[in-house]
Amino acid sequence: MGSYKKQFYVKNRLNFILTILTCVFATALNIATAFILKLLMDVTTGDSLKDLEKIIICSILYIAVAVLVLLLKRHYYNNYMKHAMVRFKNYAFSKLLGKSINSFDRQVTGKYISIFTNDMASIETNYVEANLKITTQILSFLGGLAAMAYLNWLLMLCVLVISMLPILVSLVFGKSMEEKVRIASARNEGFVSMVKDILTGFSVVKSFRAEKEILGLYKEQNIEVETAKNNKRRTSDFINILSSSSSMVVEFTTFGLGAYLAIKHIITAGTVIAFIQLLNYVLGPVGTLGPLFTERKAAKSLIDKIENATDTIEGEGAADEKESFENSISFQNVTFSYEKEQKVLNSINLTIDKGESCVIVGASGSGKSTLVNLLLGYHNDYEGEICIDGKNLKCLANSSLYNLFSVIQQNVFIFDGTIKDNITMYKFFEPTAVAEVIEKSGLEKLIMEKGEDYKCGENGSFLSGGEKQRISIARSLLRKTPILIMDEATSALDLKTAWLVEEEISRLKDLTRIVISHRMDEGNLRLYDKIIALNNGQITEIGDFDQLMEKKGYFYSLFQVAKSA
Ligand SMILES: Nc1ncnc2c1ncn2[C@@H]1O[C@H](COP(=O)(O)OP(=O)(O)OP(=O)(O)O)[C@@H](O)[C@H]1O
Query: Is pLDDT above 90 for 190?
Result: no
CA distance 69 to 21: 10
The pLDDT > 70 percentage for the chain reads 97
- Cα-based angle 370, 109, 225 (whole degrees, multiple of 5): 135
Q: Is the CB of 537 under 6 A from ligand 1?
A: no
* Mean pLDDT, all residues of the chain: 87
Distance from the CA of 514 to the center of ligand 1, in angstroms? 18
CA 42 from chain centre, in angstroms, equals 59
What is the rounded average pLDDT of the residues 39-56?
Answer: 79
The neighbouring-strand residues paired with 362 are 534
Lowest model confidence (mean pLDDT) among 37-51, 96-110, 307-321, 470-484: 307-321
Domains of the chain: 3-100+109-310 (1.20.1560.10), 328-564 (3.40.50.300)
Closest C-alpha residue for ligand 1 atom 12: 344
pLDDT digits (tens, 9 = 90+) for 356-385: 999 999 998 999 999 999 998 888 889 999
- Which residue among 340, 368, 375, 407 is best mutated to probe the pocket of ligand 1, counting the most ligand atoms within 8 A of its Cβ? 368
pLDDT digits (tens, 9 = 90+) for 328-361: 999 999 999 998 778 999 999 999 999 999 999 9
CA distance 122 to 298: 9
- Using the atom order of ligand 1, give the atom closest to the CA of residue 518: 25
Lowest model confidence (mean pLDDT) among 32-41, 98-107, 285-294, 389-398: 98-107
- Using the atom order of ligand 1, give the atom closest to the CA of residue 371: 18
pLDDT digits (tens, 9 = 90+) for 216-274: 999 999 999 999 999 989 988 887 788 778 778 877 888 888 888 888 888 888 888 88
pLDDT digits (tens, 9 = 90+) for 65-97: 999 999 999 999 999 999 999 999 999 999 988
Strand, helix or coil at 539? strand
Q: Would you say 290 and 235 are in contact if contact means Cβ atoms under 8 Å apart? A: no
Tell me the angle at which helices 164-200 and 153-162 cross, rounded to the nearest 10 degrees.
Answer: 40
Query: Predicted ipTM?
Result: 0.97
Q: What is the pLDDT of residue 269?
A: 81
Query: Is pLDDT above 80 for 516?
Result: yes
What is the rounded average pLDDT of the residues 279-304?
Answer: 84
Query: Is pLDDT above 50 for 287?
Result: yes
pLDDT digits (tens, 9 = 90+) for 203-220: 778 877 888 889 999 999
Handedness of CA 446, 448, 453, 454 (dihedral sign): negative
Q: Would you say 199 and 168 are in contact if contact means Cβ atoms under 8 Å apart? A: no
CA 248 from chain centre, in angstroms, equals 43
Q: What share of the chain is helix, strand, coil (3-state, %, to 5)?
A: 65, 10, 25
Q: Would you say 41 and 273 are in contact if contact means Cβ atoms under 8 Å apart? A: yes
Q: Is the CB of 366 under 6 A from ligand 1?
A: yes
Task: Tell me which of 182 and 423 has the higher pLDDT.
Answer: 423
- Using the atom order of ligand 1, give the atom closest to the CA of residue 410: 27
Query: Is pLDDT above 80 for 410?
Result: no
pLDDT band for 318, please (50, 70, 90 cuts): very low
